[in-house]
Structure 1
Amino acid sequence: MTTLTDVWDWLTDPAHWSGADGIWHRLLQHLALTIVCLVISCLIALPVALVLGHLGKGGALAVNISNVGRAVPTFAVLVLLLLTPIGTWGEGPTVVALVLFAVPPLLTNAYVGMREVDRGVVGAARGMGMTGPQLLFRVELPLARPMIMNGVRIAAVQLVATATIAALAGGGGLGRIITAGFNLASTPQVVAGAALVAVFALVVEAVFEVAERMAPAWSRGTR
């Protein structure tokens, strides 16, 4: 029977932290995959959400379409992608599956944030002669920033937790520790790998929280 002591012994063994299969190397792979997928997701979702939120048209449809992806398990998407030509792109299937998973919270929060901006403030800005782009970048975007960043935070934490599927497609990351534990029938290693992913997700959450608290008042959408 596996105990917390067994898991702790596995985690504190220096041999498990070094080398190509060590924790540090897998952690860096996991971080790199998360950052790449988060950046791509932001580049796809945020411009669409900001424009639609500014125009006030088509946003609800876009949000509903993007949220359809939440009903499809990311693992199922990954398996399907492996059967297509994308399956020959190395980390391509994993990146595509994770990007599709991260887009909905980014798009939803950014769009809602834009639409929740005080219409009186927007009207006053228009009355001052601001153009559409000026209104978007100097009024609506700063005020919508808290909701936008909340979407980024949610997407980042979800990506950290879900990026373990990369191991199922032969990729790197902390998921390799878990799959290796299953292959070796080592329950302490499986539990240790899961614990590392959970701690990493909590660290990412904390980083966003600290960054939000340390940000100047104007960047938080407050006076």
Structure 2
Amino acid sequence: MNLISDALSWIFAAEQWQGDGGLAALLGQHLLFTVLAVLIAGVIAIPAGWAIGHTGKGREIAVGIAGIARAVPSFGLLILLVLLLGVLHKPEAALLTFVVLAIPSLLAGAYTGFEAIDRKTIDAARAVGMTEWQILFKVEIPLGLALLVGGIRSAVLQVVATVTVAAYVNLGGLGLPIITGLNLRRFDMVLGGALMVAALALVLDLAFATAQKAAVPRGLGARTKKKFHYTDDQITLEREMS
């Protein structure tokens, strides 16, 4: 308990939030890496996932790519990219590492959202004369949005946790107090940094959980109760008819 109280005292000390190396600056760096990584990964993975879900082609390839990306150790990939790109390009190497980490969840969320749609709904849309683009934007994307938001939620949480390794290559973030505290044997600092990362993850998780619930279409939410479970290997949908 003394260590926890010491860690909390360290976090809430006014001097810890001041200056370029203060917690406010480190928090900003952590969020910047997270946002950029998820945005870049989204530009790559979401259209690809939508194409797979709409056409039904390439799912095996996507699953294989996602599995390979998950199997790559983030810290090892970061060090490898720093060595390949050079020390002058450490931010780019770190960002690329986090993008690779975010892609599997976003890809799975995009195509699984389409696969969860009742095919009778798609057939009905074609029967009334809707074009493939109209089906994509007016039917599939709105109905699959909740699972996509769930994929974004999973990707954000994974990236937030992994951005801590950026401190190993002097790129800041909330991992810096953890690394510095270990070297100085300041365990209050180590625990304080870990608590900051955990608190950030919890806040973001709550925000995306709310967004995911709001993304369920009103009519669909009135007829079905959905539970979404995300694991490292897949995104599954359980539907309980009310």
Contact 2:113–2:147 (CA under 8 A) maintained in structure 1: yes
Give the TM-score normalised by the residue count of structure 2.
0.86
SS of equivalent to 1:27: helix
State the Cα deviation string for residues 89-140 of structure 1 (Å, max 9, x = none).
Answer: 2311110011101100111121111112110000010111111111111111
Partners of 2:171 and 2:159 in 1: how far apart?
15
Aligned to 1:218: 217
- 1:140 maps to a residue whose letter is E
Name which of structure 1's ranges 86-95 and 134-143 shifts more when overlaid on structure 2: 86-95
Aligned to 1:72: 72
SS of equivalent to 1:21: coil
Partners of 1:171 and 1:221 in 2: how far apart?
45
- CA drift of 1:193 comes to 0.3
Contact 1:46–1:106 (CA under 8 A) maintained in structure 2: yes
Q: CA RMSD in A?
A: 1.9
Q: Superposition pairs for residues 26-37 of structure 1, below 5 Å?
A: 26-37=26-37
SS of equivalent to 1:91: helix
- 1:166 maps to a residue whose letter is A
State the Cα deviation string for residues 148-197 of structure 1 (Å, max 9, x = none).
Answer: 11000000111111111111122121111111212222111011001100
Any stretches of 5+ residues in structure 1 without a counterpart?
none
- CA drift of 1:9 comes to 2.1
Give the TM-score normalised by the residue count of structure 1.
0.93
Aligned to 1:109: 109
Partners of 2:219 and 2:173 in 1: how far apart?
33
- CA drift of 1:2 comes to 6.0
Partners of 2:58 and 2:215 in 1: how far apart?
33
The structure, 1 or 2, with the larger RCO (C-alpha pairs under 8 Å, 6+ apart) is 1
Partners of 1:80 and 1:32 in 2: how far apart?
22
Q: Superposition pairs for residues 107-146 of structure 1, below 5 Å?
A: 107-146=107-146
Contact 2:146–2:216 (CA under 8 A) maintained in structure 1: no
SS of equivalent to 2:130: coil
Aligned to 2:22: 22
Aligned to 1:167: 167
Change (3 A) 1:83 1:220: farther
Partners of 2:71 and 2:5 in 1: how far apart?
38
Partners of 1:182 and 1:14 in 2: how far apart?
22
SS of equivalent to 2:19: coil
SS of equivalent to 1:82: helix
Aligned to 1:12: 12
Partners of 1:154 and 1:168 in 2: how far apart?
24
- CA drift of 1:8 comes to 2.0
SS of equivalent to 2:185: coil
Contact 2:114–2:144 (CA under 8 A) maintained in structure 1: yes
Contact 2:149–2:215 (CA under 8 A) maintained in structure 1: no
Aligned to 2:94: 94
Any stretches of 5+ residues in structure 2 without a counterpart?
223-242
Hey, which bits of structure 1, 4+ residues long, moved more than 4 A? 219-223
